[in-house]
Chains A and B, each alone.
Chain A
Amino acid sequence: MNIWITIIIAGLLTFATRLSFIFLLDRIKVPDWFRRGLRFVPVAVLSAIILPDLTSPNGTLFLSWRNPQLLAGIVAILVAWRTRNVLLTILAGMAALVVFQVVLGM
């Protein structure tokens, strides 16, 4: 397959996936549990992105107090919980990561 055709079809597939329910939800009747489940989408998807990023920073599971990403992530969770502030959470998490990397020598 020509690279350009591949790129265009890949773009259309991605776009169709993103449009799917935005287009369909007006036109089909969805069951009640489906609507109630929607409020869990952001916390579930983002948690499923966050945790592996902390515990497997290089692609393999590294559950250890010597894992600087995991420690910095815990710091960020505490800061986010206490302050509810995005910038502070990022700054604290990055600072913690750099400190832990230096301290742990990684």
Chain B
Amino acid sequence: MIAKMRKHEFWSGVRDEAPILLGVVPFGLLFGTLAISSHLSSLAAQAMSSIIFAGSAQLIAAQLVGTGASGLVILMVVFVINLRHALYSASVAPHIRHLGTGWKLLLSYLLTDEAYAVTITHYNREGDSPERHWYFLGAGFTLWSAWQASTAVGIFIGAQIPASWPLSFVLPLTFIALVVPALQDRAGVAASVVAGLIGLLAVNFPYKTGLLAAALIGIVTGLLIEGRQK
């Protein structure tokens, strides 16, 4: 019975994560190709995908390696770009607090933008089923496998998808499909609109600091509107 439930949760996660891969795979190919042209070894490029496992941070880190930036600069840039993951961590934490340390470590490792977006939407829509961590694992593992494989193809074969194919547009489209149905009250809409507008204006802030500021101000806006309604 439990085994059946786990299997169901896992495969639901795999299935729900699958469409977003259409946008992730070209990104992985691009990273693999770019890492090699920045004079990283194939092994180091693949290690970045499995050890850091964070697309935008890897892309910028590889470019920085190519320009001869110091290790310390690269570390600071990677840290700042990935700060938004602390928000994801806080957001999923209540849903997985019942788990043991091993599960928490594993799911933390798999907590990327794409796995987070799919998993938290599922949790908010369907409520917390007892085996819900298997859904997270299914979504996270699917993304992880695609990222490792597409990096490897990018390293050894190069990006074969023509740059004119707008596949990367699948990423914002998937996020639209996840966010729009979740906008159900005035506070949520306000958080979304404010975060979007600030993100739009702050698009040229370096290292995703505009994204981080936009998200934080959006969250505070949601809280303020919610507080006023009470």
Chain A residues with CB under 8 Å of chain B are 1-11, 13-15, 17-26, 33-56, 59-61, 69, 72-73, 76-77, 80-81, 84-87, 89-90, 93-94, 97-98, 101
Contact = CB atoms under 8 A, between A and B. Distances in A.
A26 B174 CA distance: 32
B96 to A, nearest CB: 7
B195 A48 contact: yes
Contacts of B47: 4, 7
A93 B173 contact: yes
Given A37-B222, A94-B170, A48 B89 contact: no
A37 B219 contact: yes
A23 B89 CA distance: 9
B203 A56 contact: yes
B57 interface: yes
B88 interface: yes
Given A23-B104, A56-B200, A87-B19, A43 B182 contact: yes
A93 to B, nearest CB: 4
Given A25-B93, A61-B200, A61-B203, A50 B176 contact: yes
Interface in B50-101: 51-54, 57, 61, 65, 70-72, 74-75, 78-79, 82-94, 96-97
A42 B120 contact: yes
Most buried by A among B174, B177, B194: B177
12 contacts: A21-B89, A39-B124, A42-B117, A43-B191, A43-B192, A45-B88, A50-B172, A50-B176, A61-B203, A80-B177, A84-B180, A86-B178
B105 A19 contact: yes
B223 interface: yes
Q: Which 9 A-B pairs have the closest CB atoms?
A: A1-B71, A44-B218, A48-B199, A11-B51, A51-B196, A89-B177, A40-B222, A21-B90, A48-B214
Given A10-B57, A14-B82, A53-B172, A21 B93 contact: yes
A81 B199 contact: no
A98 to B, nearest CB: 7
B127 interface: no
Given A1-B72, A15-B109, A93 B176 contact: yes
Interface of B: 16, 19, 22, 40, 44, 47-48, 51-54, 57, 61, 65, 70-72, 74-75, 78-79, 82-94, 96-97, 104-105, 107-109, 111, 113, 116-117, 120-121, 124, 166, 169-183, 187-188, 191-200, 203-204, 210-211, 214-216, 218-220, 222-223, 226
B188 A14 contact: no
Given A22-B96, A42-B91, 14 more contacts: A7-B47, A14-B54, A17-B89, A20-B90, A26-B97, A38-B91, A40-B219, A45-B87, A55-B200, A61-B203, A76-B176, A86-B16, A86-B178, A98-B166
A81 to B, nearest CB: 5
B16 A3 contact: no
A43 B183 contact: yes
